[in-house]
Chain A
């Protein structure tokens, strides 16, 4: 049941991606409509798929990489839909939808079986809290990443004076920079709380640090990168190209870290 929903969701995100890319180059109403209907329908099904998985196991299915990636795609689309309500800049979808689709696609072939928790559920209170904070935070960083790419494309067209198709469909630099800043300022506190709650989880479950200190090292690195970026934005007048480049780099490292931790932790759950 939930697997069928998962497959349908992935297909809808793909449809959304294709029609949004069409919209990027040929801003026709039908393309936008197809895209937004697919993404919204996908999001609803996705939510349904999670609900069905939760009811099956009794706790949020977040103990394997498959679910973690899928959850992140869900958060990315959810935050995109919220941004759409506020800014009405549809074309962001052309950069967000592919990301959500790729996350789903990567999750597709990964094992879907949910590992049983090795500690009693009651003690596991912090695990879902941790996962939810991190994943929603990541969703904001994903949006910051998408608008940063849009910024660089639009900025390059304006600087080089080579007006392409996308010049017409992409919004102004100012608004892209603005959304990047906002997304970072929502994402960072969530990441910070996520890291703290992660430390608690790790303490409770293993009575100490995770296996392999690399995960902590990477996590701290991502946190520092975002801290520096946000600090630079607020206090040193960082913006535009510089801020965009750093948010892209930070997000790529974040993705690697996220996948890495989920593999290690997943193994930990299974073989601990």
Chain B
């Protein structure tokens, strides 16, 4: 029994290929039964997301299994093997285990640490489980992968910091204000980045969003989109003390918010902190504002800097995550190997037990007047002999099965005792 993983991801295939290779969820049942009907494939799970397609399967022969799965992916998507093979990767045994653990822990993701992949993997497994195409190995394997991912998430900070500018702004706000549920956000102007940040703020449960724009109708439209209120552009100064977070991105060549205005607002607010996010170039908010007590100003470069620190932090954490994974692979691989060796041990025992039984029967036929007690003694003595004879070979076989040539050793043992 061997674990193989065959697939492609954003690392090996451009989007032109990735969009051609998909396994839509609504047809998953058909795909799964097709996969597990193939020669030598006993269990299978198909993961299909926009950044990766992966088939995790249990096969009896590694090379044949990989070929079968490659053929399956090509045929299911009507794509030629010549093209597909350039982008497909395959991992087996320990490498395969490592790969799946890394994918589940989001170490192989485009944005390392992003949380979606784990959910997608759980869905893929759930699907396979419901369609009865997983067995003892993949069930244990995927549950292990999920628990490894959970360990990585809780024991490292891999996903604790934002790696996008718009989300970094929300996190900074949380470091300043703590709870955002009683905070009001003012959005000045429009623009993709600014609107994205505003959306993140709305999603993190702020109290209210106010929108203003030189063109008031545009402000009204945006306000409606966010479920907020539109504010007249001329009234910014008047209402400045009412808002905690100010997001600005206008095309104005001069500063829209001055130090004096913020000083006044802070005084009215009794120094309750204000957070300014200036995404505009040229800047909308006077940079001197950052020097005021209880006012915090971040421009686009500052936010970029925070994102970079976060990225570095994630990379450092990724190293810790790799260590956790390395520790877990060995354990699982060992279990998998004992699964391989178990049938051999069982047949070996059966073989010797058969010989013993035969000889005992012969012996008892010749010695008719033995008492029950004497019979018992013979039984236990012969049993003990077999156990002692088998003890060393079995424990050595277990050790040898755990090496790279494990299969070979198991095979030799079977031949030696003529078990097949």
Question: Footprint of B on A, CB under 8 Å?
Answer: 27-29, 154, 158-159, 161, 163, 167-168, 171-175, 178, 237-242
Contact = CB atoms under 8 A, between A and B. Distances in A.
Contacts of A238: 271
Contacts of A159: 290, 296
A239 B154 CA distance: 35
A239 B295 CA distance: 12
Contacts of B313: 168
A163 B306 contact: yes
A174 B305 contact: no
Contacts of A168: 157, 160-161, 313
A154 B305 CA distance: 17
A29 B179 CA distance: 24
A146 to B, nearest CB: 18
Contact of B298 (A154, A161, A167, A237): A161
Interface of B: 154-155, 157, 160-161, 172, 174-179, 267, 269-273, 290, 293-294, 296, 298, 302, 305-306, 309-310, 313
A167 B271 CA distance: 23
B319 to A, nearest CB: 12
Contact of B154 (A29, A172, A173, A178): A29
B290 A239 contact: no
B302 A161 contact: yes
Contact of B177 (A28, A29, A154, A174): A174
A161 B175 CA distance: 12
A86 to B, nearest CB: 14
Given A174-B273, A240-B293, 7 more contacts: A27-B157, A158-B176, A158-B296, A163-B305, A168-B160, A172-B177, A175-B178
18 contacts: A29-B154, A158-B172, A158-B176, A158-B296, A159-B290, A163-B306, A168-B157, A168-B160, A172-B177, A173-B175, A173-B273, A174-B176, A174-B179, A239-B294, A240-B273, A241-B293, A241-B294, A242-B293
A20 B305 CA distance: 28
Contacts of A161: 298, 302, 305-306
Q: Most chain-B CB neighbours within 10 Å: which of A27, A161, A168, A242?
A: A161
A184 B394 CA distance: 71
B176 A28 contact: no
Nearest to B296: A158
B175 A158 contact: yes
B271 A240 contact: yes
A75 B294 CA distance: 32
A121 to B, nearest CB: 49
Given A173-B273, A237-B270, A242-B293, A167 B175 contact: yes
Nearest to A172: B178
A206 B175 CA distance: 53
Contacts of B271: 237-240
B175 A240 contact: no
Contacts of B177: 172-174
Contacts of B160: 168
A168 B174 CA distance: 11
A159 B275 CA distance: 11
A240 B294 contact: yes
A240 B267 CA distance: 14
A158 B154 CA distance: 26
B175 A154 contact: yes
Contact of A28 (B155, B296, B298): B155
A258 B294 CA distance: 33
Contacts of A242: 293
A172 B176 CA distance: 5
Contacts of A154: 175
Contacts of B272: 237, 239
A157 to B, nearest CB: 9
A154 B296 CA distance: 12
B160 to A, nearest CB: 7
Given A173-B273, A174-B273, A163 B309 contact: yes
B184 to A, nearest CB: 15
B174 A172 contact: yes
Nearest to B176: A173
A172 B272 CA distance: 14
A173 B290 CA distance: 16
A158 B168 CA distance: 12
B177 to A, nearest CB: 5
Contacts of B176: 158, 172-174
A241 B270 CA distance: 14
B417 to A, nearest CB: 48
A117 B154 CA distance: 56
A168 B161 CA distance: 8
Nearest to B301: A161
Contacts of B270: 237
